[in-house]
Amino acid sequence: DIQMTQSPSSMSASLGDRVTITCQASQDIGNNLIWFQQKPGKSPRPMIYYATNLANGVPSRFSGSRSGSDYSLTISSLESEDMADYHCLQYKQYPLTFGSGTKLEIK
Amino acid sequence: EVQILETGGGLVKPGGSLRLSCATSGFNFNDYFMNWVRQAPGKGLEWVAQIRNKNYNYATYYAESLEGRVTISRDDSKSSVYLQVSSLRAEDTAIYYCTRAFDYWGQGVMVTVSS
């Protein structure tokens, strides 16, 4: 199985900060990765498709990148509405696997 | 408008079984792979199962942690997908989400396994 190691598990940042969350894949997944945002009591919302492509309606302060087996979700300037849990998902190989999630809090 | 609605959750005793339903509308259901994803209270997301569409012979795939206890199926005539889970354990307690190719998600249905 492909393991997705997500870090950090939680973080606190100030409004306006640049925030980066990372998922490291244990095997090659190409760009077959989705980033999700999940607010309390809500369903996950896809933010980034195919590692780097912004989903429709997602603010441009969000971006996705890849460096080798490391995949990053970056928020360029944190806003209060970005407080949420973030998850990555690899869909290169079955079983599909999620990262363990990152809880992002606002200082 | 894409709509996804899960039903069938509830309180089940350990060892029991449950069939979750996911009714969809607003898109051509036949075109899509459908998935179930679950989330235990306070935990992360866990992919459960996928069923491909007719073009892929309705192939099914399962999480290893559930294989043998879970069956995903679909009825294209009803634009619906189902998840049958048996031999339920306390650790199966979770919100179960139905999702169309991970782009649209239902609101989820709670399954609680407890005596």
Taking CB atoms and an 8 Å cutoff, what residues of chain B touch A101? Answer: 44-45
Q: What is the pLDDT of residue B8?
A: 97
Task: Outline where DSSP puts E strands in A26-107.
Answer: 33-38, 45-49, 53-54, 62-67, 70-75, 84-90, 97-98, 102-106
| pLDDT tens-place string over residues A56-107 | 999 999 999 999 999 999 999 999 999 999 999 999 999 999 999 999 999 9
Q: What is the pLDDT of residue B105?
A: 98
Q: What is the pLDDT of residue A81?
A: 97
User: Sorting pLDDT into bands at 50, 70 and 90, what band is A48?
Assistant: very high
Residue B7: partners with Cβ closer than 8 Å, 6 or more residues away: B20, B21, B22, B23, B109
Nearest chain A CA: its distance from B59 CA (Å): 12
- Contact call for residues A35 and A73 (beta carbons, < 8 A): yes
| pLDDT tens-place string over residues B17-33 | 999 999 999 999 999 99
User: Sorting pLDDT into bands at 50, 70 and 90, what band is A5?
Assistant: very high
Q: Which whole number is the average pLDDT over B48-64?
A: 97
Question: Are A87 and B97 inside 8 Å of each other by CB?
Answer: no
Q: Is B110 on the interface with A (CB under 8 A)?
A: no
Question: Are A46 and B102 inside 8 Å of each other by CB?
Answer: yes
Q: What is the pLDDT of residue A1?
A: 95
Percent of chain A with pLDDT over 70: 100
Q: Is B94 on the interface with A (CB under 8 A)?
A: no
Distance CA(A63)–CA(A53), nearest Å, equals: 8
Please give the radius of gyration of chain B, using alpha carbons only, rounded to the nearest integer.
Answer: 13
Q: What is the pLDDT of residue A100?
A: 98
Q: Which whole number is the average pLDDT over B91-115?
A: 98
For residue B67, pLDDT beyond 90:
no
Question: Are A87 and B106 inside 8 Å of each other by CB?
Answer: no
For residue B14, pLDDT beyond 90:
yes
Distance CA(B101)–CA(B87), nearest Å, equals: 27
- Does A95 sit behind a cis peptide bond, omega within 30 degrees of 0 on the bond before it? yes
Question: Are B97 and A44 inside 8 Å of each other by CB?
Answer: yes
